[in-house]
Chains A and B, each alone.
Chain A
Amino acid sequence: MSDVLAVAEHRRGELREVSHEVLTAGAELGAGELHLAVIGGDVERFADELDRGAVDTIHTVAEGEEFNHGVYVQALEQVAEAVDPTYVVTPNSVNGLDYAPAVAESLDMSLVTDAVGVDTGGGLTVTREFYGGKTEGEVDVFDDRAVVTIREGEWDAPAGAAGASIQAFDADIDETALGTTVNGFEEAGSGDVDITEADVLVSVGRGIDEEDNIPLIEELADAMGATLSSSRPIVDNGWLPQDRQVGQSGKKVTPDVYIAIGISGAVQHVAGMKGADTIIAINTDPGAPIFDIADYGIVDDLFDVVPALTEQFA
């Protein structure tokens, strides 16, 4: 039976939601022992909060307040040596991707990232997306052991207390080997518009093609009395300020209506707007992943539809 080692994630004193989800995915991966590593921060409080579902043992490593990948890699090497897991499961978060590939390399395990499903029927098979969400594939893993990073929000949090054994793990961290120093955090500045407060968001993506075309969308937003937001490339190009960006690295929005115009619906974008009440997509590509989560759609050229729509509200 396969033993599994899951890894929790926290930031600035709070566990991130995905810490619960790795337990559910971990239980799916193996019928053996389910271990959880909690590294850094208020490990005892975190361990109590994560004593849920099927977890058998929680290993706490009290080392530092915040994430440092050097500490994580060293600690996980040592915990893995102690529990000998078949699978290691971590969040596919920005920090997850800052240590999981190194752990896989160092433990000589195979690595599959951004899993949305796992199956261990005949060896490990991982379901994940390819080509920006336009296709989904099954990946067979030939290795006996693997590190799997899971997409956030794909597994539920486990229900019920577990009564796990919570053990302080005495990791031997070589401080001189740490090559990075984390000096602090900063929040991206916010401007005069708070898109998280808007009831109706008109959101523009790379389909707009050129900066000179942005006013087309502004006019629609104005006519509708809506607020303008965007996907990341628009902000990367400097066409709109950072505080208009919806998504994983931007803002999480929950308006009544979200109109996605020329936005493909990449996972990092959807992470920021899937909580909208009504989602409307305007896109020339009928296969764009945005239509997987849209309630209403228009498959057509935005340069035809948007002016006509603005006209309707003029």
Chain B
Amino acid sequence: MKILVTVTEVAEPDDEFEIQGQSIEDRYLTYDLNEWDDYAVEEAVQVSEEYDDVEVVSVTVGPERAEETVRQALAKGVDRAIRVWDDDLGGDLLDPGTTAELLAGVVEEEEPDFVFSGVQSGDMAFGATGVALAEAAGLEWAAVINDFELDPDAGSASVRRELEGGVEELTDVALPAVFTIQTGINEPRYASLRGIRRAQQKPLDVETPTDLGVNVESTLSLSSLEVPETGSDVTYFEGSADETAAELAAFLREQKRVEA
């Protein structure tokens, strides 16, 4: 059995940051493994621990810097990694359809039994790559799942899709399929020291769009990026913690919001 996990590196801005042109200046950004993908990696590694002969392969579309993030996934139990990149991809906002075409190229090469993706990336948050990949690669799919039960003999999986307002949809999905993984589905492990050491030795192959036979041209471009103006007028309590706490307490009492 082979599981493909899509992972992406996300950028998180510091509390204070500056925007230069259409992007946040790099010195204010910290890069990390996408939160949702951390759960996707864990789900794949758990399946590999439950069944014999399971290979977990990760794929990322990202620049060389992303290899640090990929190594995190390898340290947590992914067996082998693929990174897709071409400097042409670096310029603009990559639309989810283009990312999906690249990932579909890898699906075609690897022929996994199923694919785990994160529901969304924390920074761009399109929330679309997994389902677009399924359609591009001709696979079935289920978006936003918080429970996954594999039935290898039936060639299917029973999942719970987490809808709005605490409602869950119980669905059976025929394999091969892409599942987009929601946070909370499992408890992502921390990489062990041994895992981190072994990750350095695991294969990490780089492929270009040309290798995959995909012609990339993003249909989207970010023309401006700003800190949004706040719509509300916030009244700030200022001073030391003791002072602000006293002001807030006085306010709450005055409003008769709190009896104590």
Complex Cα spacing A184 to B170, Å: 5
Residues of A226-277 at the interface with B, using a CB-CB cut-off of 8 Å, are 226, 232-233, 235-238, 242, 248-252, 256-257
Q: Is the CB of B226 within 8 A of A180?
A: no
Q: Is the CB of B222 within 8 A of A98?
A: no
Residues on B facing A (Cβ under 8 Å): 11-13, 15-17, 19, 22, 24, 93, 95-97, 100, 122-132, 134-136, 140-144, 160-174, 177, 183-184, 187, 219-228, 230-232, 234-237, 241-242, 244-246, 248-249, 251-252, 255, 257-260
Q: Nearest residue in B to A144 (C-beta to C-beta)? A: B219
Other A-B pairs beyond A98-B141, A111-B128, A138-B223, 8, CB < 8 Å: A102-B141, A111-B97, A133-B228, A180-B171, A235-B184, A249-B163, A284-B15, A291-B230
Complex Cα spacing A175 to B177, Å: 18
Known: A101-B128, A130-B123, A298-B236. A179 touches B135 (CB 8 A): no
User: How many interface residues does A have (CB within 8 Å)?
Assistant: 95
Q: How far is the CB of B8 from chain A (nearest CB, A)?
A: 14
Q: Is the CB of A140 within 8 A of B220?
A: yes
Tell me which of B93, B236, B257 contacts A297 (CB under 8 A): B236
Interface centre among B122, B129, B144 (most CB of A within 10 A): B144
Complex Cα spacing A278 to B132, Å: 40
Chain A residues, Cβ within 8 Å of B22? 137
Q: Is the CB of A292 within 8 A of B141?
A: no
Q: Would you call A83 an interface residue if the criterion is a C-beta within 8 Å of the partner chain's C-beta atoms?
A: no
Q: Nearest residue in A to B131 (C-beta to C-beta)? A: A101
Q: Nearest residue in A to B244 (C-beta to C-beta)? A: A298
Complex Cα spacing A135 to B170, Å: 36
Determine the main DSSP class of B at the interface with A: mixed
Chain A residues, Cβ within 8 Å of B160? 186
- Of A29-37, A41-49, A89-97, A157-165, the one with at least 4 CB within 8 A of chain B: A89-97
Tell me which of A98, A112, A200 contacts B142 (CB under 8 A): A98
- Of A19-27, A52-60, A208-216, A303-311, the one with at least 4 CB within 8 A of chain B: A303-311
Q: How far is the CB of B101 from chain A (nearest CB, A)?
A: 9
Known: A98-B144, A111-B97, A308-B241. A139 touches B220 (CB 8 A): yes
Q: How far is the CB of B92 from chain A (nearest CB, A)?
A: 10
Chain A residues, Cβ within 8 Å of B11? 131
Tell me which of B12, B141, B230, B242 contacts A131 (CB under 8 A): B12
Known: A132-B122, A257-B257, A291-B230. A186 touches B97 (CB 8 A): no
Top 3 nearest A-B pairs (CB, nearest first) are: A236-B184, A179-B140, A308-B245
Mask: chain A, 114-155; 1 = CB below 8 Å from B; 0 = not:
100000000001000111111111111111001000000000
Complex Cα spacing A295 to B126, Å: 30
Complex Cα spacing A225 to B12, Å: 36
Complex Cα spacing A276 to B131, Å: 35
Q: Would you call A299 an interface residue if the criterion is a C-beta within 8 Å of the partner chain's C-beta atoms?
A: yes
Known: A97-B143, A180-B140. A139 touches B223 (CB 8 A): yes
Complex Cα spacing A186 to B71, Å: 38
Q: Is the CB of A236 within 8 A of B183?
A: yes
Known: A257-B252, A278-B257, A291-B230. A185 touches B171 (CB 8 A): no
Chain A residues, Cβ within 8 Å of B244? 298, 300, 305, 308
Tell me which of A146, A185, A305 contacts B241 (CB under 8 A): A305
Q: Is the CB of A97 within 8 A of B144?
A: yes
Chain B residues, Cβ within 8 Å of A252? 165
Q: Is the CB of A137 within 8 A of B166?
A: no
Chain B residues, Cβ within 8 Å of A298? 236-237, 244, 248
Q: Is the CB of A225 within 8 A of B257?
A: no
Q: Is the CB of B258 within 8 A of A226?
A: yes
Q: Is the CB of A280 within 8 A of B162?
A: no
Q: Is the CB of B143 within 8 A of A98?
A: yes
Q: Nearest residue in B to A100 (C-beta to C-beta)? A: B128
A–B pairs, 10, beta carbons within 8 Å: A92-B127, A94-B162, A111-B96, A180-B174, A183-B170, A186-B167, A224-B252, A236-B183, A257-B252, A296-B234
Q: Is the CB of A143 within 8 A of B235?
A: no
Complex Cα spacing A134 to B219, Å: 24
Q: Would you call A13 an interface residue if the criterion is a C-beta within 8 Å of the partner chain's C-beta atoms?
A: no
Tell me which of A130, A183, A293, A313 contacts B124 (CB under 8 A): A130
Q: Is the CB of A105 within 8 A of B172?
A: no
